[in-house]
Amino acid sequence: MTNLVLTDGAPPSEHLLALLGTPGGAPAVRSLLAELQLAPNLSGPWSVAVAAPAHGIDLRFRWSHELAEALHLGAAQEQVLACVFFHAQGHEGHQEYAPALPFGLEFGDSRARARQKLGAPFWPGTRHVSDRWNFPDRYLCLDFSADEASIQLVTVGLPWRARA
């Protein structure tokens, strides 16, 4: 993986997560997309997902009005970075995301170890081998290998608006 451009010395994963809620047209997001050699069309009516398998990450953009009101994203309706996916080696054809993962996690962490680090999940998956934690301004979801011995995917995103 190439090194992401960091101006504040933060770990790359923290830099990515700091961009959550930032409009797709903002200089920091445009710079990230250019570094990842991605050029998504963010003007369409739907959310946009882009993959950077050589870097071990995917990004999802959503319209700001589709996200929880508590985020105070402003009145403008625009696509914002809403979710970052960090992949383990080979997961969905990706290279492993090499820098440190957020929340002190490691791909080698078992489901039990992740729960030791993060506490009991808000939602423990039973149909899929995954757990979810909700925080005031974002959520974290971990997908595990079938034997629960390692993390395959770390997803961090902004909460969606609940639909009536």
Token match 């079938």: residue? 146
Terminal Cα distance for the chain, rounded: 42
Give the pLDDT mean for 134-163: 89
Is the per-residue pLDDT at 59 higher than 90?
yes
Question: Would you state the structure tokens that stand for residue 158, as one six-digit string?
Answer: 């902004």
User: Hey, what long-range contacts does 60-66 have (CB within 8 A, 24 or more apart)?
Assistant: 60/84, 60/85, 60/157, 61/24, 62/158, 62/160, 64/23, 65/161, 66/160, 66/161
Residues 98-123 pLDDT 10s: 999 999 999 999 999 999 999 999 88
Residues 5-41 pLDDT 10s: 444 455 689 899 999 999 999 999 999 999 999 999 9
Do 21 and 80 touch, CB atoms closer than 8 A? yes
